[in-house]
Amino acid sequence: MKTRHRTTIAVAFALLSSTAFLRAQNAVDPSGHWEGTLKVPNRDVTIQIDLARRDGATRATFTGVNIKGYPLSDVVLDGASVHFLLQVDGGGVFNGTIGDDGKLAGEFTTTEGSYALPVTLSRTGDATFEPASKSPAIGKDLEGRWAGTLDVNGTAMHITLNLANQPDGTAAGSLANLDQGGVDIPVSAITQTAANVTIEVKVVSGSYTGALNAAGELAGTWSQGPFTAPLTFQRVASRP
């Protein structure tokens, strides 16, 4: 009797261990390139999400109307659950779950909480991210941290611009809107000719053209789609 009882326990333990192993093997990994629709009133908007875990860190970007590879914030990948914050154009929070059908379904709730929009995404491959841009080196007079205020239809947007030369002899930069979460958006290209500079920001389909003036300011124009407005930057941190 004791032998049979021990055998039963051993078999049960083996079955439990096997089940746990299978669960571990089948653990959901949300990494990948996801495509689908965001259902807004009267229409569906096509969006793309890229999620990846690399070197212990999580990287995630959003692509939608006039936005390509916008960095996501507060990203949490917990088993089959996905959470992130999109801080642009009012922004909002996404909470979703990967179902048995392999689709990522959930809701995108606007920051104001006024809308909860259904989202369904399908994984179409591995996550893809734009490689870091490399522009020719810029002058020391452009390097540093700059700040300016952009008037967007009567609303003041506080913008920061970081420009620096890299150890490999190239230049890189980032732009952030402090009134939309302060997310660092990579600059796509920097072109300097004497005191004139053009900065491309493909992530938001925008560009800035300006020139250094006698007051040490960077004065110019921000363009984004049909929108254009003057934007003057003052240096707020010394050059490297």
pLDDT of residue 239: 52
178: left (phi over 0), alpha (psi -120 to 50) or beta: alpha
pLDDT of residue 28: 78
H-only helix segments in the chain: 2-25
Residues of the chain with CATH 2.40.128.120: 32-125, 135-237
Report d(CA 105, CA 127) in Å as an integer. 18
Give the list of residues 6+ apart from residue 160 with CB closer than 8 angstroms, or none: 145, 146, 147, 175, 176, 178, 182, 236
- The residue type of 7 is T
pLDDT of residue 182: 92
Report d(CA 174, CA 93) in Å as an integer. 24
Tens place of pLDDT per residue across the chain (240 aa): 445 555 444 444 344 444 443 333 346 789 999 999 888 778 888 999 999 987 778 999 999 988 999 999 999 999 899 999 999 877 899 999 999 999 999 999 987 667 788 999 999 999 999 888 889 999 999 999 999 999 999 999 999 999 999 999 999 999 999 998 899 999 999 999 999 999 999 999 999 999 999 999 999 999 998 999 999 999 997 654
Q: What is the CATH number of domain 135-237?
A: 2.40.128.120
pLDDT of residue 16: 42
CATH fold of 32-125 reads Lipocalin (2.40.128)
- The residue type of 99 is G
No. of helices (H) and no. of strands (E), the chain:
1, 19
